[in-house]
Structure 1
Amino acid sequence: MVKQNQNIKSLIRIGLLGILFFFSYCSKKEDTTVTPVTTDNTAEINKWVYDTMEDAYFWYDQMPTLATLDTQAKTEDFFEKLIYQRETTDRFSLITDDIDALEKEFNGVSKIFGIRYLLGYTDNTNTNIGLFLSYVVPQSPAANVGLQRGDIILKINGQNITSSNFSTLMNNDNVTFTLGKISNNSIVADTKTLAVAKAEVTENPVGFSSIIQKSSANKTIGYLLYTQFVPGLDQGDTLKYDNQLRKIFGDFKAAGVNELVLDLRFNPGGYISSATTLASLVVKDLTSNKIFFKDQYNSKYQAYFKQQYGANIFNNYFSTEPNNIGNNLSRVFVLTSTGTASSSELVINGLRPYMDVITIGDHTYGKNLFGTLISDDQNRWKWGLYVMLGITTNVNGESSYGNVNGISPTYQVDDNLIPFSPFGDDTEPLFRKALEIMGVPLASGTGARVAATKAISLPNHEHLSDNPINNEKRMIQKQYLKISP
């Protein structure tokens, strides 16, 4: 029954677009320009948006009727009229006029400098802000000019950074960053400047991995920094990154890792398939009939799937992973921030019924919703949607984190001590807390790039990316089945 159910799920999730009558998952085309059928087809586009949402949207029954809407309105504004409780509930559905570009970005390909950072105030006036680099994407333009985790950017193109000019300055494709430093407990500009130009980068989601020996406590620690859930390349090796995860856990297994730290503080989510791969490498007592999560669609689809396939169709199982290390673990540590979202939260919630999951850092973003990318299968335009299809729960039906408070940390630890220490260093605050819980004797000192340290005041506790789509939160079902219930 489990195997049969998995095959059905595969048909639903992998072959989903074949029977759509008005939309499909994004096709790959060279031309990215909008080619409308008529000079002004706004009403036609808006009607397509409405029909798509009325069919697929989790809250389709809460939408206003089409007769009450202005179909000639700007498409972005029209779309917003359909969203259910934008501020508190559906903070995630979005619309684009370039679906091909959005699909590439969801697959980890984007035009970026390659930095993630905290915005922090640089003085007591809370006017000027700095970019405190918490992660630099390997082989990105930022990495290529020498920027590293722990660096401070105080000026962009010679201008002090403020909340009012920040977005404009970062929107430039070519910039000159002025670096900062800590002097006498103050943050001041350095003489060093770096010119950086955005470029298209395919980001490897494995940002860092290491096996850390703490023989004094009989601990062999596997440390994985994972920045997004992407199975592989957009074209070519479509399982490249999932297989990289498997290789890393094979190394963990061979080394006898008995403690695991998953660093998901920069991870806004991604594909459910990769979340399943990661969770299956971690879970204790892995079997192919163990439920990872359950999904729930809108009332039409819920009834249809249950009638066609039975109630078990909503069960999503762990995958068979030979490099699973769960039986050598009593728990897993997950480092989190307010930007930890979607598929990251799915992993935390899905593992909790089977093992102790200790979260360290800040509360997560709070997204238990999954969605998919939908484009027009008739290729009349490049408009597309990322639509919330439903919610997920763990095997026990638990899913209480889908709100602005997210998943509360087991241990609240501030991540604002700059310059940031290297990943896996004893002085890095979140990892240090994990070591403390493990009973590892802690050394003093610092491994930071700059020895002086300072706690910064933060207007926002989220590690932001210079790629705006990475600041969106996503749990993506690869494709979507349209039915006519």
Structure 2
Amino acid sequence: MLNFKRLHLLYVLIFALTVVGCKDKDVDPAVAAIDSTTTADYPNINSWLYDVMDDAYFWYKNLPAESSLDKTVDPRDYFEKLVYQRATVDRFSAVTDDIDALQDEFDGISKVFGISYSLSYIDNGKSNIAAFLNYVVKGSPAEAAGLKRGDILMKVNGSQLTSSNYTSLLSNNETATFTLGEISGTAIVASNQTVTVTKALVSEDPVLFSTVISKPAYGKTIGYLVYTQFVPGTDADESKYDNELRQVFADFKSKGVNELVLDLRFNPGGYISSAETLASLIGKGVSNSKIFYKEQWNDKYTAYWQKMQGADALNYKFQNEANNIGSALSRVFVLTSNGTASASELVINGLKPYMSVIRIGEHTAGKNLFGRLIGDDQKRWKWGVYLMLGQTANANGESDYGTVNGMKPDYEVEDSTVPYLPFGDENETLLHKALDIMGIPIPQGQRLTSKKTVDTFRKMLHDDLQTKESRMIRGGNLRAIPQ
């Protein structure tokens, strides 16, 4: 009998070629790390992997016969033989040989510079690229060095970023000297300014930015929040970040906010408890008697939960939040990208039965699945598996976004105009579109004069916090069902 913990929802960062939502290969299942096991351990590790998946995997009925598999191969290769329709269905299950390191990444703790960036071409030949900073993590080495949203990184340690070297230059250096770029006419060129940054252990505060935009002439008081991951707090204060969210909404409520722009462009997901908190602060007419979302497990676990906890066992409710602003809202605007995933999509889908959710930007990652990071109970090795256990739906039973196309935006806007403007600037591409839909024009004299549209190198967002893979994990106590 296996022992599990009933999960929290999480979409994680694992830096390589994966992304805040959309990657070269929708998922790279192997999470590189250091482990003391040898090839002699592979048969036992692979047997353990099979047992775990045969018990709890959402698609356990589709596993190949255990006798048909070679258990002596690397567990990464063995695992791929078990994953159900990797390219189109289970794009998210993954195996790791350092479960502790991966758990830290789930919790937003990584040794990093602290930058999130998009990569775009800067020449007509489409060889040279630059990293355009989406945001800089609060309290990170990058922030201490003076880097900020809108900065352009052209070179690393004197080498120009290209389509072939960017991975090694941006991920393999503990200390890096970045040469900044600037717009000169219609070109993006290297400047004389350099910034040197050394990686450090960082716990990312997901409540990145908030403000209230007052437009009394239009009867609008607009709350704007940039939220980068769903993590409730730290080891020292488990509710630290959720309480920051509550304080933001207390401010919105006290100032009479009647329109809300929720910026989830850079949010790959996070713990489901934080998704419940955020949705409960926004939803119109919601309470702990209203369904936020439903879960569907494999047939064994569905029967188990309902037997243990009743027919309502897999229905999860909103929370009662004193600073909920839903009574003042008829709609919420959500800014999205290909990296908006998992818990972010859960919030969007969960709010739809209760209010109008207007999506602006690009299609989301398409993750309606939840899973769990599972380690060996006997602590024989550090290998672990992030396993898809089921899928979610909203109160109306809707769960139609679990494809590579994700959720289609109501207003498709590509965020490709550089330099990126500060958060809250009314000219900033996606925020401006939200204001435009509200009927609010750009103030005179505030139009951007020096700008350029760039060709995206890859439809993905990057960061050095580890690349964020869709991880939606449920929490609590779960015991395996006797076979």
SS at match of 1:463: strand
SS at match of 1:435: helix
Partner of 1:337: 337
Quick check: 1:140 aligned with 2:140? yes
Partner of 1:11: none
Partner of 1:16: none
Q: Deviations over 1:328-387 (max 9, x none)?
A: 101001000000000000000000011000011011010000111111121111111111
State the AA in 2 paired with 1:435: L
Kept in 2: contact 1:25–1:374 (CA 8 A)? no
Quick check: 1:474 aligned with 2:455? no
Q: Which runs of 5+ in 2 are unaligned?
A: 8-32
Quick check: 1:185 aligned with 2:182? no
Partner of 2:450: 452
Across the aligned residues of Structure 1 and Structure 2, the Cα RMSD in angstroms comes to 1.8
Q: Distance in 2 between matches of 1:35 and 1:168?
A: 25
- Calculate the TM-score normalised by the size of structure 2: 0.91
SS at match of 1:475: coil
Q: Distance in 2 between matches of 1:90 and 1:156?
A: 36
Rate the CA distance shift 1:352–1:338 in 2: closer, same or farther, 3 A. Answer: same
Q: Distance in 2 between matches of 1:320 and 1:23?
A: 29
Kept in 2: contact 1:208–1:224 (CA 8 A)? yes
SS at match of 1:180: strand
The structural deviation recorded for 1:163 is: 1.7
Q: Distance in 2 between matches of 1:252 and 1:161?
A: 42
The structural deviation recorded for 1:412 is: 0.7
State the AA in 1 paired with 2:144: N
Kept in 2: contact 1:96–1:102 (CA 8 A)? yes
SS at match of 1:300: helix
Partner of 1:441: 441
Q: Distance in 1 between matches of 2:416 and 2:326?
A: 32
Rate the CA distance shift 1:397–1:246 in 2: closer, same or farther, 3 A. Answer: same
The structure whose RCO (Cα within 8 Å, separation 6+) is larger is 2
Rate the CA distance shift 1:480–1:459 in 2: closer, same or farther, 3 A. Answer: farther
Task: Answer with 136-145 or 38-47: which moved more.
Answer: 38-47
Partner of 1:261: 261
Kept in 2: contact 1:279–1:318 (CA 8 A)? yes
- Please give the residue correspondences for 1:39-438 in structure 2 after superposition, counting only pairs within 5 Å: 40-171=40-171, 172-233=173-234, 235-438=235-438
State the AA in 2 paired with 1:238: E
The structural deviation recorded for 1:462 is: 2.5
Task: Answer with 298-307 or 282-291: which moved more.
Answer: 298-307
Kept in 1: contact 2:39–2:74 (CA 8 A)? no
SS at match of 2:84: coil
Identity over aligned pairs, percent: 56
State the AA in 1 paired with 2:302: Q
SS at match of 1:374: strand
Kept in 2: contact 1:335–1:359 (CA 8 A)? yes
Partner of 1:10: none
Kept in 2: contact 1:360–1:411 (CA 8 A)? yes
Q: Distance in 1 between matches of 2:441 and 2:417?
A: 21
The structural deviation recorded for 1:441 is: 2.8
Q: Distance in 1 between matches of 2:281 and 2:394?
A: 17
Kept in 2: contact 1:333–1:357 (CA 8 A)? yes
Kept in 2: contact 1:291–1:317 (CA 8 A)? yes
Q: Distance in 1 between matches of 2:194 and 2:85?
A: 44
Rate the CA distance shift 1:269–1:39 in 2: closer, same or farther, 3 A. Answer: closer
Kept in 1: contact 2:150–2:419 (CA 8 A)? yes
SS at match of 1:41: helix
Query: Between Structure 1 and Structure 2, which shows a larger proportion of helix residues?
Result: 1
Partner of 2:462: 464
Rate the CA distance shift 1:446–1:173 in 2: closer, same or farther, 3 A. Answer: farther
Aligned pair count?
A: 456
The structural deviation recorded for 1:34 is: 4.0
Kept in 2: contact 1:288–1:318 (CA 8 A)? yes
Q: Distance in 2 between matches of 1:24 and 1:324?
A: 30
SS at match of 2:457: coil
The structural deviation recorded for 1:439 is: 1.6
Rate the CA distance shift 1:386–1:351 in 2: closer, same or farther, 3 A. Answer: same
Q: Distance in 2 between matches of 1:183 and 1:84?
A: 50
Q: Which runs of 5+ in 1 are unaligned?
A: 1-19, 27-31
Q: Distance in 2 between matches of 1:241 and 1:445?
A: 37
Q: Distance in 2 between matches of 1:96 and 1:417?
A: 37
Rate the CA distance shift 1:444–1:465 in 2: closer, same or farther, 3 A. Answer: farther
The structural deviation recorded for 1:461 is: 3.2
Kept in 1: contact 2:105–2:466 (CA 8 A)? no
SS at match of 2:312: helix
The structural deviation recorded for 1:62 is: 0.9
Q: Distance in 1 between matches of 2:4 and 2:302?
A: 20
State the AA in 2 paired with 1:214: K
- Calculate the TM-score normalised by the size of structure 1: 0.91
State the AA in 2 paired with 1:229: F
SS at match of 1:405: coil
Kept in 2: contact 1:170–1:466 (CA 8 A)? yes
Q: Distance in 2 between matches of 1:62 and 1:338?
A: 29
Q: Distance in 1 between matches of 2:225 and 2:176?
A: 32
Q: Distance in 2 between matches of 1:478 and 1:156?
A: 41
Rate the CA distance shift 1:25–1:383 in 2: closer, same or farther, 3 A. Answer: farther
SS at match of 1:95: strand
Partner of 2:482: 484
Task: Answer with 55-64 or 306-315: which moved more.
Answer: 306-315
State the AA in 2 paired with 1:478: G
Partner of 2:11: none
- Please give the residue correspondences for 1:2-13 in structure 2 after superposition, counting only pairs within 5 Å: none
Q: Distance in 1 between matches of 2:406 and 2:163?
A: 26
The structural deviation recorded for 1:24 is: 6.3
The structural deviation recorded for 1:306 is: 2.4
State the AA in 2 paired with 1:405: N
